[in-house]
């Protein structure tokens, strides 16, 4: 596995002991979550694209990632597992797809990575499903608007076994903080502050058994991005606030 691919697969999680905030090595992160009471779901979905980002201005060795993260559970009880579906943009304009599963902090317990187009693609739809003892990841990559308008993506798939029965969506209070069980955001291995960049999160939603649902969204940065717990351990995505990140525009179901 080449150096770039090793960098591309790791979207960091931080772990704390006894629910006391203590950062472990992780990347800068800015995300969002759906503000509603926690519910069980078997599917989550997020569209990512890189808008006006000039990949050539991203310094070598750094990557810009768009990622969907969801907690595994049995009913409303979290298991401690976190499932992520992400894409990472590099300075040569290559995009690497990096689905993975975490338990107990880095490194990921399950992961996969492969090339999946470039930063000029108009959309990357990241979908995660769970059922019958399997977590199933899909990436729908649309290279141009002709493919998008005709719903003709390049499709990538990967799966692995699980003991979880479902995902959790929404937020839940535990001990002394809110856990946001389904998150969508932007992350890098190292802060990219040498140039301006854009990353769009579009249509973050979950399936409730009859249709895809959208609810009010809220921001969580890398120090408040708690996503699940297991026993006395609490986990969050990222772990470090992505400084210098501001919203360019928002609407009911997207943020750039």
**Three-state SS string across the chain, please?**
CCHHHHHHHCCCEEEEECCCCCCCCCCEEEEEEECCECEEECEEEEEEECCCCCHHHCCCCCCEEEEEEEEEEECCEEEEEEEEEEEEECCCCEEEECCEEECCCCCCCEECCEEEEECCCCEEEEEEEEECCEEEEEEEEECCHHHHHCCCCEEEEEEEECCCCEEEECEEEECCEEEECEEEEEEECCCCCCCCCCCEEEEEEEECCCCEECCCEEEEECCCCEEEEECCEEEEECCEECCCCCCCCEECCEEC
For the domain with range 3-255, which CATH number is right: 3.40.720, 3.30.2000, 2.60.120, 2.40.50?
A: 2.60.120
The pLDDT score that the predictor gives to residue 107 is 85
Residue 144's nearest CA partner among 43, 32, 15, 49 is 49
The pLDDT score that the predictor gives to residue 89 is 98
pTM confidence score: 0.91
Measured CA to CA, the distance from residue 169 to residue 44 in angstroms comes to: 9
The pLDDT score that the predictor gives to residue 105 is 74
The pLDDT score that the predictor gives to residue 6 is 37
The pLDDT score that the predictor gives to residue 13 is 61
The pLDDT score that the predictor gives to residue 75 is 97
Residues of the chain short of pLDDT 70, as ranges, are: 1-26
Residue 237's nearest CA partner among 40, 27, 78 is 27
| Residue 135 in tokens | 């977590």
Domain locations along the chain: 3-255
């Amino acid at each position: 596995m080449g150096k770039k691919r090793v960098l591309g697969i790791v979207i960091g999680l931080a772990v704390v002991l006894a629910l006391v905030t203590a950062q472990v090595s992780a990347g800068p992160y800015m995300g969002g979550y759906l503000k509603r009471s926690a519910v069980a779901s078997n599917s989550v979905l997020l569209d990512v694209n890189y808008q006006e980002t000039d990949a050539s201005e991203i310094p070598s060795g750094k990557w810009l990632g768009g990622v969907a993260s969801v907690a595994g559970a049995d009913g409303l009880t979290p298991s401690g597992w976190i499932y992520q579906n992400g894409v990472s943009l590099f300075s040569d304009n290559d995009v690497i797809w990096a689905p993975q599963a975490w338990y107990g902090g880095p490194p990921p317990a399950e992961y996969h990575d492969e090339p999946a187009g470039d930063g000029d693609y108009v959309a990357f739809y990241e979908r995660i499903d769970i059922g019958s003892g399997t977590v199933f990841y899909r990436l729908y990559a649309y290279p141009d608007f002709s493919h998008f308008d005709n719903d003709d993506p390049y499709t990538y798939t990967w799966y692995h076994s699980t003991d979880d029965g479902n995902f959790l969506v929404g937020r839940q209070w535990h001990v002394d903080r809110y856990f946001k069980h389904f998150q969508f955001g932007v992350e890098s291995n190292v802060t990219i502050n040498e140039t301006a960049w854009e990353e769009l999160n579009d249509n973050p939603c979950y399936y409730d058994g009859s249709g895809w649902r959208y609810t009010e969204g809220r921001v969580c940065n890398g120090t408040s991005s708690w996503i699940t717990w297991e026993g006395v351990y609490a986990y969050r995505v990222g772990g470090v606030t992505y400084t210098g990140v501001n919203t360019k525009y928002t609407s009911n179901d997207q943020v750039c």
